[in-house]
Amino acid sequence: MNDTIAIKTSNLTKVFNGNIAVDNLNLEVERGELFGLVGPDGAGKTTTMRLLTAIMEPTSGEAWVAGHSIIKESEMIKEKIGYMSQRFGLYEDLTVMENILFYADLYEVPKSERPARIDRLLGFSNLTPFKGRLAGKLSGGMKQKLGLACALIHTPEVLFLDEPTNGVDPVSRRDFWRILYDLLKEKVTIFISTAYLDEAERCTRIGLMYRGRLLMKDEPMAVKKSLGMPMIELWSDDTRTAKGIVKEIEGVKGVNIYGDRLHVTIEEREKVESIIAQLRHGGIEIKDYREILPSIEDVFISMVEGK
């Protein structure tokens, strides 16, 4: 495998009782990249993570992580990676420091190297003042940062994070991403899954996953430009009624509601005035409108509806 590639899959497939969880996944992630696997619950993100971390064997296909086969060299892979699952195994009756030491023992980190690594990880995650606190007494955001510190204690080449900010408050999410960017500077490859489409914007590249299939993979901006049609944003007091009217108008390719706004995909810009006129004719007040770049969510919904 090319030395610049950290993760490579070839027709990677996993079937459970006749249900295809991961369907012929073909993907390459470069070393030092932050790759985001984006999709709703049930898309196959966690199964993909478990396959790539050699926790689970594929039904067919193959993958290589840090140069090693997930099928033939699974134990070697486990030495090269860090993995933080959705329910990372923190011990709530142990302190922050005791949890980190437990994982240092688990990964057989040399005792001579531990003090410097632990000090750095505690500082990195702003956990130094809390190293004597029981993990069970930490906030959700602090638990996630402790989980990350434990996953990094053996200095992995590739870090797998399965929806690490799920249920975490916005401030803690921001702090968590700051830590990830610091890791990128050290050339750690990060493979993260998320259902938060705003987080996808922060990745180097993303893959949109739905029902086990990878619909698209590219840089976030390229994904947003991929719709290939203009999009307008309309402000209205009655978005549901407005949506019903708009979706019946000829030349409208898609309509999505975002609070008091509609995102409308149109074949051509000349349709805008006609859409506004028909809405007003239907008794809908339009406060304002503008042309916008589609969001990743807009593109994802469009692709799923196309399926």
Per-residue pLDDT of the chain (307 residues; tens, 9 = 90+): 678 999 999 999 999 999 999 999 999 999 999 999 999 889 999 999 999 999 999 999 999 999 999 999 999 998 899 999 987 788 999 999 999 999 999 999 999 999 999 999 999 888 999 999 999 999 888 998 999 999 999 999 999 999 998 888 888 888 889 889 988 998 999 999 998 888 899 999 999 999 999 999 999 999 999 988 899 999 998 899 999 999 899 889 889 999 899 999 998 888 898 899 999 888 888 889 999 999 898 899 888 876 6
Long-range contact set of residues 137-141: C-beta below 8 Å, sequence gap at least 24: 138/96, 139/169, 139/172, 140/167, 140/168, 140/169, 140/172, 141/168, 141/169, 141/171, 141/172, 141/173, 141/175, 141/176
User: What separation, in Å, do the N-terminal and C-terminal C-alpha atoms of the chain show?
Assistant: 33
Residue type, 30: E
82, 249 in Cβ contact below 8 A? Answer: no
Q: Is-above-0.75 flag for pTM?
A: yes
Q: Do domains 5-224 and 227-306 have the same CATH topology?
A: no
The full set of domain ranges for the chain reads: 5-224, 227-306
Amino acid identity of 220? Answer: P
pLDDT 10s digits, 68-110: 999 999 999 988 999 999 877 889 999 999 999 999 999 999 9
Q: Which CATH architecture has domain 5-224?
A: 3-Layer(aba) Sandwich (3.40)
Angle at 95 between CA 172 and CA 84, to 5 degrees: 50
Q: Enumerate residues 6+ apart whose C-beta is below 8 A from 257.
A: 239, 240, 243
> Which of these, 59, 46, 16, lies nearest to 191 by C-alpha position?
46
The CATH architecture one would assign to domain 227-306 is 2-Layer Sandwich (3.30)
